[in-house]
Structure 1
């Protein structure tokens, strides 16, 4: 029986695609003088920002400078980010069912505070695992291992909900079943390997209860 429900954030709980892509495009145009199409930046959805920006940097100092300026620019686009319809109702119902809820995100601790706290959803979750908590990140299984350890859980009584290939590979590498949040996912033939495909947030309840 599933007792531990683990969630990604971007593209799963919150619709942040516009904020992430447009702010990065603005950064690259201002700092590097290059214009990058939306679809050429989709790869960054689901991995730590540092990993995504690295290919545009010359060295570590340049990378640090880009990341700092990106954080400022993201704040200008923050109001475009919203919580997907039905998510808070789902969290409320999961809490009432006495299930453990956790966050596994590629955001750092500071990015979580800057980007997620304002939605007032933290109260529904028992644990948070960010990119600051593990040396290896998705698709490596370490973030899920960390979450399972914090919850005293096992792969067999847990599930991970996400929207990206990185999320699915992270789950499978940890032997945890994966549920695809189709409302935030891009089409990818690899998603045929997802154990579940959720059409709406509340469809998760049919899987776990």
Structure 2
């Protein structure tokens, strides 16, 4: 049984907004760059998660004797590529139906709201301003706010500290495996938004699952 809910944390892309980020293009650019810096050609592919691509690249460069400084430089450039692709997609993103009403309803219940995303902080700032959502959030943790973004629990711990709440009294709402795994490692109750089809691995980590983001209010009221 969960303790009383004091906060709800949301993922951004795919949960609150319909993202237009071309992830395969982003991965192609990152992989091409990493290969140019010495990463083994056949090691990486576009079907991998970005976090997996970067992890394998770092391990490969370490095995080949690259210095920490060289590896840090490669990661910084990869992050820059991600930022550029994200920011170029902004004008094509749309808001998920019912999001403003849902956030307002949760705030009216006295809950703190947080945003936990693997997108860069500049992208998040623009999106929240564009869709008039910034006023609902008490704290935001973007990819470049931490050394280890989700699925690492460090990302969630950073946001929980900003919110001033405990993991046991927080729901995490998202649509992706990285959200679910981050929630599991950080001790958050995860609520999956979307279709179960093709997401069984994610749903195994769920506290609850809903078809649409507006259903979160019912879950909060039922706890």
CA distance 1:185–1:85, change in 2 (3 Å): farther
Q: TM-score, normalised by structure 1?
A: 0.76
Which of 17, 20, 23 aligns to 2:22? It is 20
Paired positions, count: 200
Deviation at 1:193, TM superposition (A): 2.5
Separation in 1, partners of 2:25, 2:129: 19
> By how many angstroms is 1:118 displaced?
2.1
- The answer to whether structure 1 residue 124 and structure 2 residue 136 are counterparts is yes
Q: What residue in structure 1 maps to residue 11 of structure 2?
A: 8
Aligned ranges 1:58-207 → 2 under 5 Å? 64=76, 67-68=79-80, 71-182=83-194, 187-207=199-219
Change (3 A) 1:54 1:13: farther
- 2:17, 2:96 within 8 Å by CA — same for their partners in 1? yes
TM-score normalised to structure 2 length: 0.72
Structure 2 unaligned residues grouped into runs of 5+: 36-45, 62-69
Shift of the alpha carbon at 1:183?
5.8
Q: Deviations over 1:29-58 (max 9, x none)?
A: 9989xxxxxx826x24xx59x949969xx9
| 8 Å Cα contact 2:176-2:202 kept in structure 1 | no
Larger Cα-atom Rg: 2
Between 67-76 and 82-91, report the one with greater CA deviation.
67-76
Structure 2 CA distance for aligned equivalents of residues 135 and 74 of structure 1: 19
Report the CA distance between 1:144 and its aligned residue: 1.6
The answer on whether the counterparts of 1:177 and 1:195 sit within 8 Å (CA) in structure 2 is yes
Give the match for residue 65 of structure 2.
none
- What do you get for the CA RMSD once the two structures are aligned? 3.4
Task: Check conservation: 1:11, 1:184, Cα contact below 8 A.
Answer: no
- Give me the whole-angstrom Cα distance separating, in 1, the residues matched to 2:164 and 2:56: 35
Listed as ranges, the gaps of 5+ residues in structure 1 are: 33-38
Residues 153 and 72 of structure 1: is their aligned pair in 2 closer, same or farther, counting only changes over 3 Å? closer
